[in-house]
Amino acid sequence: MNRTFWNVYAHVYDQMATSIPYQEVQQLAEKCLEVRSGERVLDVGCGTGQFLRRLADRASGAQLHGMDAASGMLRIARKRVARSAMLCEADLEAGLPYEASSMDAIACMQVLYTARDPDQLLRELRRVLRPMGRLVLVNPHTPNPEAVPDEHFRRARERGYRMDDARLAIAFRVIVAMNRLIVREVRNKRYHFWSVEELSERMVSAGFAVRRVEPSVYGGTSALILATPM
Closest CA to 222 of 108, 77, 69, 120: 108
SS3 assignment, position 25: helix
pLDDT band at 159 (very low <50, low <70, confident <90, very high): low
- What pLDDT score was predicted for residue 1? 62
pLDDT tens-digit map of 95-148: 999 999 999 999 999 999 999 999 999 999 999 999 999 999 999 998 776 776
CA distances from 17 to 23, 29, 176 (A): 7, 14, 14
Residue 16 pLDDT greater than 90, yes or no: no
Do 62 and 39 form a contact (C-beta atoms < 8 A)?
yes
Residue 119 CA to residue 35 CA, distance in Å, equals: 26
Instruction: State the pLDDT at residue 63.
Output: 97
Q: pLDDT tens for residues 172-219?
A: 788 888 888 888 998 898 999 999 999 999 999 999 999 999 999 988
Q: What is the reported pLDDT for 171?
A: 76
Range of the domain at 117: 3-229
**164: pLDDT confidence band, cut at 50, 70 and 90?**
low
- Span 18-39, average pLDDT: 92
CATH of the domain at 34: 3.40.50.150
Task: Indicate if the pLDDT at residue 161 is higher than 70.
Answer: no
Percent of the chain with pLDDT over 90: 63
The answer on pLDDT for 152 being more than 90 is no
- Which is more confidently placed, 191 or 1? 191
Secondary element (H or E) of residue 105? strand 103-109
- Phi/psi at 132 (nearest 5 deg)? -105, 20
- Total domain count, the chain: 1
